[in-house]
Amino acid sequence: MERSIIVTGASRGIGRSIALKAAEKGYQVCVNYKGAADKAEAVVREIEAAGGTAIAVQADMAIEADILRMFETVDTKLAPLAALVNNAGIVDKAAPVADMSLARLNRMFSTNITGPFLCAREAVKRLSTARGGPGGGIVNISSVAARLGSPNEYVDYAASKAAIDAMTIGLSKEVANVGIRVNAVRPGVIYTEIHASGGEPDRVERVKSMVPMQRGGEVEEIADAALWLLSEEASYVTGALLDVSGGR
């Protein structure tokens, strides 16, 4: 049966890899992005070239109206929704808490917490068997920062991911009997461009000695975990926080 998936922040990095692997698994894919239309369209073309179906949808996860429009677009243009991956997330420049502005905190929490909550709400409305939906899966991309705290770098980011972990646990219990599984993947340090937005493009090289496996992770290693959590192979897994972090 045809089914679709929304992957937020799928124009590059971990989200892009999840979108490509979801298409391989047969999902029709909503490739969400905020600003990088060209990169999101390139992901769509890559999926289509491999015989899949995808659309790129611009929507800022910090804006409710954008999120509603994204879900409505999927309702009309793709097969029935079966899965959501709350992947879009931001870091800010490394700074101690004492130097964090209200504007920074509002931007961090609206993008990394409120957006995923609103997306989860919209997904549950469509997936819940109690509301006539087919059931499905939600995967939240958290971070090991949720338990490490990221002192002197970005405690705001770490706190946003801890909120995502709590949402994963609570929502998983709320919807366990209406056909929806909710899980989180907690990546360690992964080679993506997110570190450049924190002002340190080579951050993985600096911190990898703290990783028991002595290396950074690849986006595919995170995507495989997310797709496994959505699959039937994980049919009894819900409320799990799966660390994919090389042992860190």
Residues annotated as part of the active site: 157
String marking each residue 115-144 x if it binds ligand NDP according to CB under 6 A:
--------------------------x-x-
Kindly identify the residues of this chain, within the stretch 80-119, that bind ligand NDP according to CB under 6 A.
87-90, 111
Q: Which residue number, 162 or 178, has a Cβ lying nearer to ligand NDP?
A: 162
Is there binding between residue 13 and ligand NDP (CB under 6 A)?
yes
Among 4, 6, 7, 8, binds ligand NDP (CB under 6 A): 8
Helix axes 64-77, 115-127, angle to 10 degrees: 30
Tell the smallest beta-carbon distance from residue 237 to ligand NDP (Å): 20
What one-character DSSP code corresponds to residue 231?
S
String marking each residue 44-83 x if it binds ligand NDP according to CB under 6 A:
----------------xxx---------------------
Instruction: State which amino acid sits at residue 54.
Output: A
The radius of gyration computed from the CA coordinates of the chain, to the nearest angstrom, equals: 17
Structure tokens at 167: 């949402």
Helix or strand (DSSP H, E) at 148: helix 145-148
Q: Which residues of 183-197 are buried (b: 16+ CB within 10 A; e: fewer)?
A: bbbbbbbbbbebbee
Q: Which residue number, 177 or 214, has a Cβ lying nearer to ligand NDP?
A: 214
Q: How far apart are CA 69 and CA 244, in angstroms?
A: 32
Is there binding between residue 11 and ligand NDP (CB under 6 A)?
yes
Q: How many residues does the chain have?
A: 248
Q: Which residue number, 60 or 156, has a Cβ lying nearer to ligand NDP?
A: 60
Among 20, 22, 127, 189, binds ligand NDP (CB under 6 A): 189
Q: Which residue number, 126 or 248, has a Cβ lying nearer to ligand NDP?
A: 248
Tell the smallest beta-carbon distance from residue 183 to ligand NDP (Å): 15
Q: Which residue number, 30 or 81, has a Cβ lying nearer to ligand NDP?
A: 30
Structure tokens at 137: 């899966």
String marking each residue 27-46 x if it binds ligand NDP according to CB under 6 A:
-----xxxxx----------
Is there binding between residue 154 and ligand NDP (CB under 6 A)?
no
Is there binding between residue 190 and ligand NDP (CB under 6 A)?
yes
Helix axes 102-109, 155-175, angle to 10 degrees: 30
Question: Residue 140's beta-bridge partner residues?
Answer: 86, 184
> CA of 33: how far to CAs of 1, 19, 95, 196, 243, in Å?
27, 12, 26, 18, 25
What one-character DSSP code corresponds to residue 142?
-
Q: How far apart are CA 37 and CA 46, in angstroms?
A: 14
Is there binding between residue 12 and ligand NDP (CB under 6 A)?
yes
Binding site residues, ligand NDP, CB under 6 A: 8-15, 32-36, 60-62, 87-90, 111, 141, 143, 187, 189-190, 192-194, 197
